[in-house]
Amino acid sequence: MKLATLTNNRKPVLLIVGRHEDPHILQILPLLKDRHLRVLRFNPSDFPADASLSLKLGSSQQMTAILSFPSCEIDGEIIETVEIDIREIDLVWNRVRSRSQAPAEVNKCHRLWVEENCTRQLAYLYELILCPWIPYRPDSCHAQFTREAATPVSVLSGQRYAEGDRGPSPENKIYQLLLAQQLGFSIPETLLTSRPQDLLDFYSECRGNLISKKLVDLVMSLDGVPLTPFTHAVTEHDLMRYEAVRMSPVLFQERLDKKLELRVTVVGNKVFAAEIYSANDPKQSIDWRRYPSFNLARFYAPH
């Protein structure tokens, strides 16, 4: 595969995603010397303990997604942490065989949730790297990125892969926002980050009008009690623990005043729509699912 010629004289960027000790990678690396390539190596196991992600989109019409991670030279030596915007990646060699690992300070009761959440978030990120992949771009719905209900008794079965290169998962909310923007919809200012300072800066940019949302549909348990993460209005009290985003990226959005919510589902050629007047009830104004009341909804016949 020939890389496109770059007009600004920068070296094409080859990102290798896989374990640093992967024998296949180590065998190929010497062949990449003197190829006028910038070779970066990202090990998913470094995320989030030693790697970070900060992705931003909104009114600027441009998405920035900065991945920061410890990389290796071609000779195998670890170099300092590198940062790259995923839009600058020209080619990816997919050797994904490892999953995210929680930082050592994470409570053992929460480790599985952190690791599952981060693994799936990386899978969503891979779907946004639109350059060529060898042999193919990973599919976030595939076995290597999921555990059955993310329960401790589940065992991740063998490495199975999708045949060919698929489009982004329908669960990838970042892709959904980008697609909505491309179709002409206005979207709120959005930040997905594991960088504490970026959270503080974004809170200031939005003048404190901020909500947090789950990116991955997972439920964790605390002392045996399931906790469902609803959309939450971020307060100054929450910022007392702003450093916690290092443990797993969190999705933040500008809080917008709403008149009502529209829920639209398309099945084949049928459109099912409902209006939810959640703004009329303080309990539902942030997330109506916390206190669902269908007396405040209006449904339309499919058409």
What order of strands is seen across the sheet that includes strand 38-42? 38-42, 13-17, 91-94, 133-134
Residues 249, 269, single domain; the answer is: no
| Predicted confidence (pLDDT) at residue 145 exceeds the cutoff of 60 | no
Please check whether residue 136 lies inside any domain of the structure.
yes
Residues 114, 53, single domain; the answer is: yes
Q: Which residue did the predictor score with more confidence, 301 or 189?
A: 189
Mean pLDDT for 73-93 is 82
CATH number, domain at 40? 3.40.50
Please check whether residue 69 lies inside any domain of the structure.
yes
Range of the domain at 222: 175-254
Number of domains in the chain: 3
| Predicted confidence (pLDDT) at residue 5 exceeds the cutoff of 50 | no
Q: How high is the pLDDT of residue 241? A: 94
Please check whether residue 2 lies inside any domain of the structure.
no
| Predicted confidence (pLDDT) at residue 142 exceeds the cutoff of 80 | no
| Predicted confidence (pLDDT) at residue 212 exceeds the cutoff of 70 | yes
Q: Which residue did the predictor score with more confidence, 180 or 169?
A: 180
Please check whether residue 6 lies inside any domain of the structure.
no
**What does pTM read for this prediction?**
0.84
Residues 196, 146, single domain; the answer is: no
Residues 229, 145, single domain; the answer is: no
Residues 73, 179, single domain; the answer is: no
- For residue range 232-285, list pLDDT tens digits in order: 999 999 999 999 999 999 999 999 988 888 888 889 999 999 888 888 888 888
Q: How high is the pLDDT of residue 168? A: 75
Q: Mention every residue, 6+ apart, whose C-beta is less than 8 A from residue 105.
A: none
Please check whether residue 1 lies inside any domain of the structure.
no
Backbone angles phi, psi at 168, to 5 degrees: -60, 150
Lowest mean pLDDT among 104-118, 139-153, 187-201: 139-153
Residues 31, 53, single domain; the answer is: yes
Residues 189, 291, single domain; the answer is: no
Residues 180, 124, single domain; the answer is: no
Please check whether residue 159 lies inside any domain of the structure.
yes
CATH number, domain at 198? 3.30.1490
Residues 227, 104, single domain; the answer is: no
Residues 140, 277, single domain; the answer is: no
Sole residue written with tokens 């009341």: 293
Lowest mean pLDDT among 51-65, 70-84, 90-104, 170-184: 70-84
